A and B are shown apart, each in its own frame.
Chain A
């Protein structure tokens, strides 16, 4: 690395350029709250079926229980994932990935990059895959997965998914110990200036303020609407309701109002919705053999 390390936004722009060069569609974030980039329909739904699909996008992730009121240097209830999905998975996916690290300034003669077994599973999405967490000097910077199943369907063909933890990578590239100290741009704006107040307020809302009756009601309504969508053959809309139900469930968890015993039932409900949407999507395209 020479000169000034990349700012947070420069990193995103560089990854956009890099994956754009590789033929990816560069999407903007999905306009709904979700816990991981994998929930983005451009991953979940588009991973299904035989069509070629290459896309890259930033997805804000909301994990209400990870909120720390802005007091923890590396835990956030809102952060960014950089998500790349390539179907079918190219034979040189590892090399492409390492190329992207080099592009954002990781010197692989100086740093120790490792592919450490980490099998991925999302019961909520009826999905699993094999791959690794990629370590840079012992820090997990990317989740690298070859999807094998999605929504309970075998992948035909298999898609490769890369999920970069942008804040972690930036902290590493900029050599910062605290996420709020990250240079957001090259004009002196820090990550803290952009997001610290947001973390404080949203942590408070997630843990203390959010009206649980409203949330329970929202969960019920989302599940009902999902059924409605499925009955009327609009799987994308149904999937959106599943995302909504999933995030509402996460908020209820943060509020501590779901008992351990109930937890499984709620998760099962969300899984049924997501799988139902995937199945409807497959059926609509004539892929569900």
Chain B
């Protein structure tokens, strides 16, 4: 068994591409040698700015000889078949082997030397390398077919044991020689084999293993901070990036003028991180310190003093710029900045950012005035999750959105509108022009400094949140109102302009906005009938996002489907309460058995062509009528009357005991009786949004259903009995559908 070393040496490869390059190299290599029947006992890859390396351990000296058999015609086949087979294989009849009346062509493939296999594999790997961005270079680039690499490729080391695997790719001939560190050891060194590769390079100031470089940076940077009486602000992204920029990483600590600490710490950290790739440090009191850690690529002859000084100057210039922007921005009231939003096009079809601000301000106010966003989180009686039910059960009234106190409401509404009007103003500030990722945050700073209420400043700061899975979901009501209004406006507007996401295309990040809306509604338990503000297609879009989001949260998608299939539900909190109760229920014995009974009933009905009742109208699904009554759009205005008569579209009425034209069997009578109890109990529980209660009521049907199937023949010869029993089963189905469409549930 022998080890193989491959080093591909180039000009500096972007740091961000190196991890994937290692994976690709290992994958391509394994695939290439695999084609020849070779497998390595282990593959190790290394990546750095100037070299990509692979060490494959435990390769055999050659591939085993294989005998390959190709099945031919039967001996009894017509001569044409045999002739065709001989032509195809290039053999004569005598060379074929006969077994059980069938002819086979057998070819012995001799084994091949591994060196030969490798020599064939390497050019393929290099040419097929999937760099995210690649380039051509040099005289060969007169042809656009010339080799592409992330940056110009200069050298190939390919050693099988201590033997050079002789290859040539785009004029680069493989060998055993490579280069050391660009400045510490610019000359050539010769590698003996895979075994001495890492150590020979270490001797010329190259640490080939990225993990070792990362460890040095991580440890040394923290150590430097500690020695200075500080704490490093850890940042694995920076560790990786600096390891991708250095072959011999040397962290160095420097100080900057403490005066710059008047600039918000986020700005300093961002400047240091993004522009300069420096770590920052905290003092013992947790505040940002006037120190940075840069990572040099050399062991400088003066111990790094000049390097630190140079880096300090660069950072000082950056911070000076930042402070200039900050001070300048502070002098202009956000209100005045907001005026400039009239000159910024939000989208060519959707007007200016000022237009958007106007819409968002109105919507944010409405969300408060309509009681959707209130000053305190609303307990949900149905129980969305652990602890939800116990929260203030006694203090809520009968309506899910209790009318907020008059004065508190007015303040909240004013603050929401104010925050919305100022929320985008920082887009025209110097600081955000320089650092777009500081949008919101800077507005929050400026608002606080200019005397806005803390709630307003916080809402300006956080209204973009949540910006992704795992991001904090705002809970302060002013922030919730603005954040919700901003996202709903974007979704509504882009959908109205027919700029919907499709496939992988979502240029306006509307999926993220929808997930944000969902998180805001669920986390804050907002009772918000979305149909009131969203078009049907936007509502479907939310439904899809909710499914994706819940699936990721571990909720069974079929259960979500089962509840969605009821149709018309646009109150996410209630919808999820139903789904969660359902998930708990189907996990129990009662649930499993009820589901089995339901499916049996549904199958019989399906066979007999008894269709399910049309899906209940939304108003039947739950309460919340008063919450919807004042929604501004006609879509939600669909007048809601909880006392409306139950629609009677299917024959289930005929399944009622009192209208039977014959004496029922005992099990039949028992099921009728059970339904007479369970139906209203379940309906009442649904009405109360007590979905566990509704499930419990349905669970009482389980035994009577089982008994019914055991003791009663549905398909009776008497057409009246048959019809009545089918009707009874339809009644079971309808009863169960009060909670969810069980036909969508798997298992």
Contacts and interface: CB of A to CB of B under 8 A. Distances in A.
A146 B146 CA distance: 14
Interface in A142-173: 146, 148, 154-158, 160, 172
Give the bracket for the number of chain B residues in contact with chain A: 35 or more
B310 A157 contact: no
Contact of A89 (B137, B309, B313): B137
Nearest to B340: A260
B12 A132 contact: yes
B499 interface: no
Contact of A113 (B15, B142, B183): B183
B133 interface: yes
Nearest to A117: B14
B138 interface: yes
A89 B138 contact: yes
A137 B314 contact: yes
Interface string B307-343: 1011101110100100000000000000000000001
B468 to A, nearest CB: 25
Nearest to A90: B138
Contacts of B349: none
B262 interface: no
Given A88-B138, A158-B136, A158-B141, A130 B297 contact: no
Nearest to A148: B135
Nearest to A52: B139
B307 A130 contact: no
A136 interface: yes
Given A91-B138, A136-B310, A158-B136, A111 B300 contact: yes
A177 B313 contact: yes
Given A132-B12, A155-B136, A156-B144, A74 B317 contact: yes
Contacts of A148: 135-136
B154 interface: yes
Contacts of A90: 138
B16 interface: yes
Contact of B16 (A94, A109, A117): A117
B641 interface: no
A86 B170 CA distance: 21
A137 B307 contact: yes
A172 B311 CA distance: 11
B143 A130 contact: no
A103 interface: no
B135 A146 contact: yes
Contacts of A130: 133-135, 150-151
A115 B11 contact: yes
Contact of B345 (A110, A114, A158, A260): A260
A65 B152 CA distance: 36
B298 interface: yes
Contact of B141 (A109, A119, A131, A155): A155
A27 interface: no
A259 interface: yes
Q: Place the interface of chain A in its size category.
A: 35 or more
Contacts of B344: 260
A172 B140 CA distance: 37
A114 B276 CA distance: 12
A116 B245 contact: yes
B61 to A, nearest CB: 36
B440 interface: no
B608 interface: no
Contacts of B245: 114, 116
B300 A138 contact: no
B529 interface: no
Interface string A14-28: 000000000000000
A187 interface: no
Interface in A67-100: 73-74, 88-91, 94
A191 B141 CA distance: 42
Contacts of A89: 137-138, 141, 152
Nearest to A50: B142
Contacts of A114: 245-246, 297
Interface string A93-135: 0100000000000001111111111010000000001111000
Central interface residue in A112, A113, A156, by most chain B CB within 10 Å: A112
Contacts of A157: 136, 138-142
Nearest to A155: B141
B253 interface: no
Contact of B135 (A139, A158, A172): A158
A148 B151 CA distance: 12
A88 B138 CA distance: 5
B301 interface: yes
A9 B137 CA distance: 33
Contacts of A139: 310-311, 313-314
Contact of A154 (B139, B144, B182): B144
B296 A112 contact: yes
B227 interface: no
A137 B151 contact: no
Contacts of B138: 88-91, 157-158
A138 B133 contact: no
Contact of A111 (B15, B143, B306, B348): B306
Contacts of A111: 300, 306-307, 310
B301 A110 contact: yes
B310 A137 contact: yes
B49 interface: yes
A88 B298 CA distance: 31
B471 interface: no
A88 B139 contact: yes
A108 B135 CA distance: 28
A239 B152 CA distance: 31
B240 to A, nearest CB: 14
A156 B143 contact: yes
B343 A260 contact: yes
Centre residue among A94, A114, A160 by max chain B CB count within 10 A: A114
A156 B314 contact: no
A88 B133 contact: no
B137 A158 contact: yes
Most buried by A among B135, B278, B302, B314: B135
Nearest to B278: A138
Nearest to B150: A130
Q: Which of B136, B246, B343 has the most CB of A within 10 A?
A: B136
Given A111-B300, A114-B297, A148-B136, A138 B11 contact: no
A106 to B, nearest CB: 11
B143 A109 contact: no
A109 B151 CA distance: 25
Contact of B298 (A112, A132, A172, A259): A112
Nearest to B305: A110
A94 B133 CA distance: 20
B577 interface: no
Nearest to B310: A137
A89 B345 CA distance: 42
A88 B301 CA distance: 36
A260 B348 CA distance: 11
Contact of B300 (A91, A109, A259): A109
Given A88-B139, A114-B297, A138-B311, 8 more contacts: A110-B301, A113-B183, A117-B12, A130-B150, A137-B306, A156-B142, A260-B343, A260-B345
Interface of B: 11-12, 14-16, 49, 133-144, 150-152, 154, 182-183, 245-246, 276, 278, 294, 296-298, 300-302, 306-307, 309-311, 313-315, 317, 320, 343-345, 348
10 contacts: A111-B300, A112-B300, A112-B310, A116-B245, A117-B16, A137-B311, A138-B278, A146-B151, A158-B135, A172-B310
Interface of A: 50, 73-74, 88-91, 94, 108-117, 119, 129-132, 136-139, 146, 148, 154-158, 160, 172, 177, 259-261
Q: What 3 A-B pairs have minimum CB-CB distances, sorted nearest first?
A: A137-B310, A117-B14, A115-B12
